[in-house]
Each structure stands twice: as C-alpha cells, then as structure tokens.
Chain A
Amino acid sequence: MNDFKKFLRFAKPYWKLSLFSLAMLVAMVGFDLAVPRLVGHLIDQGIRQKNLSVVLSTSAIMLVISMLSATVAVLNSISSIRVGESIARDLREEIFVKIQRFSYGNVDHFSTAKLMVRLMSDTAAVQRLFQMSLRLGTRAPLAMVGSIILMFVTSRTLALTMMPIFIAGGIVIYFFSTKLEPFFRTVQQRLDRLNTVLQENISGARLVKSFVRGEFEAERFGAANENLARENIRVMQLMASMGPILTLLINFGIVLVVWLGGIQSIGGKLTLGQIIAFTNYLMATLQPLTMMTQLSNNWANGLASAKRISEVLDAEPEVPEAAEAAPLPEPVRGAVDFDRVSFHYNSDTSMSVLEDVCAHAEPGKTTAVLGATGSGKSSLVSLIPRFYDASAGAVAIDGHDVRGLKNDSILEHIAIVPQDTVLFSGTVRDNIRYGRPEASDDEVIAAARAAQAHDFIEKMPLKYETHVEERGANLSGGQKQRVAIARALICKPSILILDDATSAIDVETETKIHNAIASAERGTTVVMVAQRISTVLNADKILVLDQGRVAAEGTHRELLKSSEIYKEIYDSQLGAGVRHGL
C-alpha cells in the first residue's frame, strides 16, 4: 500500500481530471440504477393501471436517461484514459531519466533486462491499475452498493433474503482469487522452463546440431511442453469454474425472488413491477461481481509493478557528484595516479577485486595492464573515469582526486573502448561520430583510418552510410572493435582507455592501430588492458596484476628479467617460438 501511495503523486497533476472521471462514473451508475426502477414503475403504474400516458412518459424519461448515461460513460472513459496514459508517460520518462543518471554500479545491480521490464511492462501495469480503478474499479462496488440499497428500498424482506447469496458470492471470489495465485506462479515457472529449452536450442543451435542431439532436445522440449500444458489445463479449469458458480448463485437469487416475492405478491405485499425491478437489480450485480475478480488480478499486478518501479526511482547513483565539485583544470596533461587503491563491487562486498594498488601513468605515455582473467584489470581502468569509486585509497588525474571533480568534466577528456563492443543502430558514420557529434566527415575518415577501419568500411556496399544493424549484427567482432576504436579516437582525448579492445583483431592489424595511435595522437595518455603479450610489448610501462595486486611493474625488458609471472606469460605465448624461430 505504501508503494501505491508513492504512485498517487504521479496522479497528482491530473487530480482534477481524475475527479471529473470519477464524478462521471458516479453519475453513470446512478443513471444505470434508475432504469430498473423506471421499468417497475412503467409496469405497475402504466401497464397494470392501463395508463398510456404513464407508459409513454416513463419511456421518454428512460430514453433521456440512457442518452445521458451514454454521454457520461464516454466522458468517463476518455478522461480515465487520459489520466492513465499521462501517468504512464510521466512514469516512463521519470524512470528513463533516472536510469540515465545512474552510475555503472546501479546498472550492474539492476541488469539491463530488468530495467527494460521496469520501463515498459511495469509502467503499463501501473497504468492499467489507474485506468481500471477510474473505470471498472469504482464502478463495480458503486453499482453493487447501489443495487443492494435499491433492493432494500424496493423490498426490505426480499433484500434480506438475498444477503446469504451475496455473502456466498464474496466467499467464492475470495476462495478463487487466493487459490489461483499459486497456480499462476507454477504456470509461470513451467513457461520459463519451456522458454529456457527453446532459447537454448536457438542460441545453442550450433552445439545441438554438432552433437546431433536433436532427438534428445525434442524429448526435453516435449517434457517441458507437456508439463506446461498440464498446469495450464488445471488453472484454466479452475478459472472456468468461477464464472458459472457466480452465475448460478445469482440465478438462485432470481428464483428466490420469484418464489418468495411471488408469494408476497399474491398476498398483495409486493407489486409485479417491484419483482421485475428486483430481478433486474440482481442481474445488475452479477456483472460487477465478475469484474471484481478481474480487478483483483490487476491490483496484484499493478502493486507488484509499482513496488519494482519504486526500487528504481529510489536508487541513488553510486557515484554521486560532490556539491563543491570543480571541473578538471585545463590544459589536461593526462597523468593518472592510483594511491593505495582497494576496490570491491557493491554487489559482492566479500570479494576484493583490487587491493592496495599504487600505480602511475605518465602523461603522453602508454601504460599497459596485463594479467589473468579476474585479476582486476578492467576494474582498475574503470576507476579512472570514475565509473566506480575506489573503496579505499584515491584515484587522481593530474593530481586532482576524481571524487572532487565534476563527472562530466572528467569524461570530456577521456575516451574509452570497452571490452564488449556496443554499437548503436544508425550508419557506420553515425557510430563513429557518436564520440564527438560535431566532428566533420574528414575527421570521421581520419579516425577510421587510424583504427584500421577505413578499408573494410570502403568495401561495404554503402561505405560509411552502411546501416549498422541491432547490436552490430552485420559486422564481425573485429570490425565492431575497430569502429569502437574509431569512435574513441575521434574524441581526441587526453586519456585513452583501451579495455582489451583488440581481442578480436589479428595481431598485424592491432599493431597498425597502435602505431597510428602513437603517431597521430601525440600527447595522449594511453592506458590499455590486454591479454596478449604482443599487444603490450611496446608499452612504455607494463603493470602486471595478479589477484588484484600489482605483481610487477616496468618495461618489457625489465620485466623479463625481474618478474617470474611475466616471464611465465611471455613463455607461454611467445618465448618458445622466439627461440624456435630466431
């Protein structure tokens, strides 16, 4: 409920429209409830008294009422839709803006897929909740209460006999809505299982085919399929039972009215018109009852979604900007210092990724970070642009602690080529220019040339205008990496971070890229993470990381002499070959 309260504030700007919508609803229910009474009046006063003018005038009144009811209903619909959609729009925007303000750690915490669900599905569920509440939600109880009151007005004794039926109806609804919930969850689990198998067979098609496991997979799918069908049948049978049971209850009510009302009528205590009106009211309660069950589902879904959305909205950026943050003073030399830095990801406090790291990257020089997977290389470089904050110690650029700087001013001088290449839909040119939107076409080409991407781009049918498909599906891994490098180079950064950015590029091309960076981007501090020793051979300084600590530091020649780990890596990749080949 607390979460829902938070969401009422999204309705706040639209409270007038919401109130209007509700007023229309009340009017509509009022008009609807008047009809059975008028019918009763028409029968008793008009037909039985053989009074034609009463028949005609009552009909006329009913006609007017139905027109008014229609108008009011349409106004209610339109206004409730406007409120619901406005709230959904505002929510989506607020969530999206919030996400854009997140730090890397926040996104790690939520994961892309979850954020997508919050943004699209959860907002839709909340919107439905608002919209339904303004329409059916309030209408059903209003209509029910109205009908019951009018039943009492029509005949107190008859209305009292209806009470057990209403109570029974309430029990049925309660029973089903509580009973169904766990069933729905089981169905969801079965569905997930089915989708897992399907997904595995799509993503792992190569593996399934190469091991000739078609029949085995068909069996797995068959089992999952059978289980899902069985569970679905159970839920559907349960659901299908509720409607008829409720209908039967109301039908029994009608019989009761006819029977008891009939006896009273014969005794002269009740008129025929009243009996007819009464049955009509009973019929009118049937619909709200079934609507209520639909609504309880909506409520459960909407509230769960609201809760998930508020998790996102309440999350604070993990890397907050200090109030007195200053911009990075220009000109930027590009010196990077790590002073006794320790680091662990917030999601996993038990495992320290970096421990007591001291390092220095000279301005204008190339510093390479080498080490096994999981030794903390990527984490180390992601501290420089303050994607994460160190848990202890300090990271400084040109001697300024990054925590005292404006985040944007840091990023202005840093370009990064991440480990997983992300390209955006658009042309190749758009993707390269993404680094600096105001760059000229010549600059785009120059950056592509330096990244050794120009040649393959020129070979594509539309060259720089070639459309990059979703997730760069039409480019190979190496091509994507080269476009990503061009995107970073076009920024002309003071500090360039290459996070294992050439893993899918052959050594020869890689060398050319490094040469191009070295010659064209003079004055750029390059910090690169690598796994291949050939990548780091020519670095001015190599930092060897081992389990989050600096194991050795120096040039290639120095390390060959001094570092056991470095020598081991070197031998495994090249050493033996050098002896063999030369």
Chain B
Amino acid sequence: MAYETTPSIQDVRSSFSRRNAGRPTKFETAADPRKALKRLFGYLTPFKGPLALVTALVLLQSLLGLAGPYLLGQAIDKSIGGKNVASLVTTALLMVISYFFSNSFNVVANWRMARISQQALKNLRGDLFSHIQSLPMRFFDTNPAGGLMSRLTNDIDAINQTVSQNIISLLASVITMAGIIVSMFVLNHWLALASLIVIPLMWWFSNFVAKYTRKGFRELQKNLGNLNAVAEETISGFKVIKAFRRNDSAVELFRERNAAVFKSAVYANSYAMLLMPLTGVLGSFFVIVLASLGGWLALKGLVSIGMIATFINYAQNFTSPLRQISNLYNSIQAALAGAERVFEVIDMRTETSDEGSAATAVTAPSIASAHPPKTPADRAAATVAGSAPAAPSITAATFSLERFQGNVSLRDVQFGYAPERSIIKNFSVEIQSGQTIALVGPTGAGKTTITNLLTRFYDIQGGQILFDGVDIRDIPKKTVRRAIGLVLQDTFLFADTVLENIRYGSLDATDEECVRAARLAEADHFIRQLPEGYATNLSERAGNLSQGQRQLLSIARAILADPRILILDEATSSVDTRTELRIQKALLRLMEGRTSIVIAHRLSTIRDADKIVVINDGEIVEQGNHGELLERRGFYYHLYMSQFKGNEI
C-alpha cells in the first residue's frame, strides 16, 4: 500500500493553479442528463417562494418587453401616420414606462436569482464536502488526491458557470419566445404564420449543427485529455527525462498529440461556430420574409406599416434568445456532466453507516468520578490485573474515553485490502497499559496495516481487536480514534499558523498550552526563530520547514491531544539521524505513560521497546524484547545484524 505520499502544502497550493490545466479526460456529456438535471433542480426546491417571485418578475419583464415593439407600431401608424402629436407623446411616454419597468424587473429578478443560485450551489458544495469527509479511508487510499481535487473543482466550476449565468436568460428567452409567438398571432395571423416557417428551419439547423458539434467536442475533449496527460507527466518528470536524455522522444509524443488536438479543435469549433453566424443570418432572413410578405400584404391593405415595424422588432427579439440558447448548449452539457460526477461522489457509501449498533452516548465525555490515572505509576497500578481489563464489567455501553486504561489486544486478526488477498493472518498480540511495543519487519510485511486496523480506518475481517476488553467494532469510530494519537512519517500541516497547527491536537487548548506542548516536543526553539514565531503562517513558509521541523510540530500536536494510545508509524524515517536524536527525545517524553506502538525499519529506534513483534508476510514470526530476540538468533537477529554487517547476509 502506498500511503506514504501525503502531499505537502506546496502541492496543495500548486494544485489550485492547476485547476484549469487538469481537465478531466472524460467526455463532457452526461450519461443520463435528465437524472442529473432533476437532482440539480432538487437543490432549488428550498427556494420555492423566491423562485416563484423570480418567475413572476421574469414573466412581467418579458411581457413588458413585448409591449415596446407593439407601442412602436402604434406610434408609427396612429401617431406619425395619423399626424397626431398628442398621441405620439403619450405613446412615447408609455414606451418609456414599459421599457423602464421591464429592465427594472430584469435587474431585480437577476439579483434575486443570483442569491438563489449561489445559495443552492453553496448547499451542493456543503453536501459534497460533508460527504467526502465521511467517506472511508479506503476511498482516499485508492483515489489519488490530485485527480479527485481537480475533478471536483472543475465540475463545481462548470455547474457554477452555467447555473449562475444562464437560468434567468434561459427562462426569459423561453417566455419571450412564447410571448412573441402569441402576440404575433394576436396581431396578425398571416404574418405570424409566415414567421413560423422560420422557426422549424432554425430548429432543424441547430439540431444538425449540434449533432456534429457534440461529436467534435467529445473527440476534442479526449485529445485534450491525452495531451494534458503527456504534458503533466513529462513536466513533472522533467528531471528524470533530462537525466536520461529522453527529451526528444517526449517532444515527439507531445507534437503528435498536439497535432491531434489541433485537428479535432478545428473540426469541433468550425461546426460550433456555424451556429452563431447562421442564426444571425436566419434572423435577417426572418426580417426579409416579414418585410417582403408584409409589404405585399400592406399593398393589399391587409396590414399597416406600423404592424410591419412591430413584427420586425419582434423578429429581432425572437432570434436573440434563440442564439443564446444555442450558445448555452455546450456549457449546459458540460455542467450536467460535471453534476453527474459530483453526484457520483455524493452517492458513495460513507463510513458512518456502521455506527448504529454502537452506543452513541459514550462519545460525549462523561465526567465520571474516576479520573484517569495521571502518572505512569498510577496507570501501572491500575492495571495490575495484566492484560485483563481493569474493570471487568466494562462493556461496549459503558466504555468511556476517560476510564480507558490503554490495554489493547489483537486476537487472531485477519485482514486483506482485497478480500482474496489476505495481508494480516492470525495476528495476536497483547499490549498492556503503558507498554511500548515495536512492530518490526521488512517492507510490505503489514506493519502499517495494523495501524489502519487499530484506528478503524479499515475493519478487520476475522478475529477481534479489544480496548480494555471491549471489541472496538462496538465502540464508535470517533471514540476509538480519540483514544489514539497517530504520528506518521509524512507530516501533514494545514495552511494556517504554527499555533493553530499545534492546536489541532486539542481545539480548546489555550495558547499557553500549545506553547508548552511545543516546548515538550523540542519545537519551541525553532518556532521562535521563524519570522513571526508562533503566528507564522505555514501556507507561505511550509516549504522552508525541514522534514524534521515538520515532524516536531506533529509531535507537539500529538502531545497536546494527550491520547491514551500512541502510534508512531515510521515517524523518524525521513529525518536525518542527528535531527532524529532530538525527535527521539521528544518522542520518549510523548510515550511516557502511554500505550505506544512503534513502527520502524531503523532498528535503532526500537531497541528499548518492552516488546518487539517481528512480522513477516502478515504473520508474527517472533516476539520478545531486544536481548531475548538477539539471543534467539532468528529473523530479528538477521535483520538487526544486516544493518551494520550488511555483507554477511
């Protein structure tokens, strides 16, 4: 399992700027657009009232918009044609009023809609986030963070672009078009019928173009994805390519895929761009039909000149929404495809679903009479009973963090990430409160997997893991994890100040407590040398912290958290040995009085453990303390000797 690669803040930051570059290679069309659309609309349902208002406003706006051209026709026929200045003034006044209100309503509707759509999007983002948070660790282990991140940001962005800009204009377009058709028939059905000829023509044409456009863009998207993949790989692997002198073959591959992008881009865009000018031309065709037919009808005295003006005005108003809709087509498709992928994540199974059986009341800290033993001596005294739980009557229902002694037993544990490949076989270890045990073994022996099981990142498939005699599957995950402090090889720091990064261990800790923890972790000295001390923001400076300094911060965090059980998973392996000495000192302080599980391949780190458990291929090969195991001259002996007498193996 490759967990070791937790990206640093630098990676985190760089991936924002990559947002646009890391376009997903998937096609930008939803598999089931209707379903995605329906669910997206679901996010609008809480805003039924405001939406009704917006719809009413858009309706009013569109109807008032229709009044303009009608009044224009009236002005031409009655006032100008009839040489009536008084009626001209009133008509002009009416026009001003209708235009003013139409546009005012438009502004108000837009403002309202901006609020609605952004609230809905906020809720969607919130849902997505809380869902991602509750996904099991397996999800994060199997999905590379970078890919997931760029996918989510791109998809949300695509939805945002479409939803925020287009709902109103779409609504207004549809209403305006319907209104225009109705008014045309009311005013003059001959001219209206003639106009209708244009509509199917446009419809047919848009469909024809859309078919090729869709195909073209799908192809383009695929080729862009390919190009992106080459670029990403060759640029991030630049140093290796350079070292192996393979730049020319990289260029050759890039050139090939670049040419493919060019070809499909020209194809797709040429079709897509047909729509814009041609709907424009169809628009003027519309005007021509109206002018010539209207002119002929006017000669026969069937329509007035003002009517023709009105119709031409309508025609112009009619084609612009049509143009807009055809413009929106691609972005709507992209948004729906994005929505589909977002919902895909939201539909994944979460890990909280298993907590029904566990008594949730226990998660709340019960300020019971029995205070936890404060010193190692107290705690040792409390566990004279050895591996047996201190209070024999503890059950899942009465298990509480405060009374937890830190006895851990693994009994016949079986586990595999994939059911057919078992990683941990018949694993049994008893760890008593306050003991330090070390897990030792070659790479891939299953050491890290044990920590994944203790924290319930994964649940075991056979056997039992007990905390003070209680099966951890009966304890809520949150409680299990609160009992454990993890210090990993790759430290993760947040884009926040040093102080807040330490406080992460215990949110209600005071500043003084955080500083005290840093002092215990031997981190205080270097923190004070940072430009702004504890207030130094790590989002800008994390790169300048050495691996060792980062590790000291994470130890301070763990000290502050004050867990009953401490797991150190290769906590010092990426640190040079002289720094390690300092960290070791901090770690020893941290381990004091806690049940500690140490994983290391550097055997020097684990010599002083109470018990060393040697694992190979998921099974325990040997256990005992350092002296015993050396005397046995077994697996451990060989591992140990190989560290400084390598050639003998």
Contact = CB atoms under 8 A, between A and B. Distances in A.
Interface in A415-429: 415-416, 418, 422, 424-425
A509 B443 CA distance: 9
A171 interface: no
Contact of B316 (A214, A283, A480): A283
Given A120-B20, A258-B88, A262-B75, A42 B291 contact: yes
B121 interface: yes
B197 interface: no
Contacts of B604: 572-574, 576-577
Contact of A272 (B81, B85, B274, B443): B81
B18 interface: yes
Interface string B571-594: 001111111110000000000000
A19 B648 CA distance: 78
Given A276-B76, A283-B316, A100 B561 contact: no
Nearest to B492: A204
B270 interface: yes
Contact of B7 (A73, A203, A272, A408): A203
A372 B579 contact: yes
B471 to A, nearest CB: 19
A25 to B, nearest CB: 10
B274 A77 contact: yes
Interface in B252-291: 254-255, 258-259, 261-262, 265-266, 269-270, 273-274, 276-278, 280-281, 284-285, 287-288, 291
Interface string A544-582: 000000000000000000000000110011101110110
Contact of B235 (A59, A76, A99, A478): A99
A28 interface: yes
Contact of B644 (A74, A93, A117, A574): A574
B444 interface: yes
9 contacts: A43-B305, A66-B284, A81-B266, A112-B235, A200-B492, A245-B103, A252-B99, A422-B239, A437-B249
A69 B281 contact: yes
Interface string A432-467: 001101000000000000000000100000000000
A104 interface: yes
B153 interface: yes
A259 B17 contact: no
Given A43-B295, A205-B140, A251 B239 contact: no
A470 interface: yes
B107 A244 contact: yes
B236 A248 contact: no
B644 A534 contact: yes
A145 interface: no
Contacts of B104: 244
A209 B481 contact: yes
B144 A471 contact: yes
Nearest to A373: B576
Interface string A72-108: 0110111001100110110011001101111010010
Nearest to A104: B239
Contacts of B333: none
A70 B492 contact: no
A232 B239 CA distance: 41
A275 B75 CA distance: 11
- Candidate in A120, A385, A487 with the most chain B CB atoms within 10 angstroms: A120
A218 interface: yes
Nearest to B265: A85
Interface in B534-593: 539, 546-548, 561, 573-581
A351 B607 CA distance: 38
A42 B284 contact: no
Contacts of A135: 273
Given A89-B261, A100-B247, A572 B577 contact: yes
A346 interface: no
Contact of B240 (A266, A418, A580): A418
B292 interface: yes
A292 interface: no
A222 B126 contact: yes
A414 B229 CA distance: 28
Contacts of A221: 126, 129
B196 interface: no
Contacts of A114: 14, 17
B103 A100 contact: no
A508 interface: yes
Given A107-B239, A120-B231, A418-B240, A373 B548 contact: yes
A39 B312 contact: yes
B107 A210 contact: no
Contacts of A511: 642, 646-647, 649
B576 A50 contact: no
Given A251-B68, A258-B88, A194 B644 contact: no
Contact of A198 (B147, B152, B233, B639): B152
B12 A96 contact: no
Interface string B1-44: 11111110001111111111111000000000000000000000
B519 interface: no
A99 to B, nearest CB: 6
Interface residues of B, number: 181
B577 A55 contact: no
Interface string A201-218: 111111111111110111
A411 B137 contact: no
A552 to B, nearest CB: 14
Nearest to B645: A537
B296 interface: yes
Contact of A74 (B152, B278, B601, B642): B278
A35 B316 CA distance: 12
B439 to A, nearest CB: 13
A89 B262 contact: yes
B255 A93 contact: yes
Nearest to B482: A212
A422 B644 contact: no
A474 B554 CA distance: 27
A505 interface: yes
A272 B277 contact: no
A491 B121 CA distance: 54
Contacts of A510: 646
A425 B277 contact: no
Given A93-B258, A283-B316, A512-B649, A475 B644 contact: no
Contacts of A577: 603-604, 607, 640, 643-644
A523 to B, nearest CB: 20
B523 to A, nearest CB: 16
A476 B147 contact: no
B250 A100 contact: yes
A503 B574 contact: yes
A322 interface: no
A205 B89 CA distance: 70
A508 B229 contact: no
Nearest to A86: B262
B237 interface: yes
Nearest to B120: A229
A416 to B, nearest CB: 5
A508 B649 contact: yes
Given A195-B149, A266-B80, A251 B262 contact: no
Contact of A52 (B12, B296, B630, B645): B296
Contacts of B228: 120
B486 A218 contact: no
Contacts of B455: 209-210
Contacts of B80: 258, 261-262, 265-266, 272, 275
B10 to A, nearest CB: 9
B596 interface: no
B123 to A, nearest CB: 9
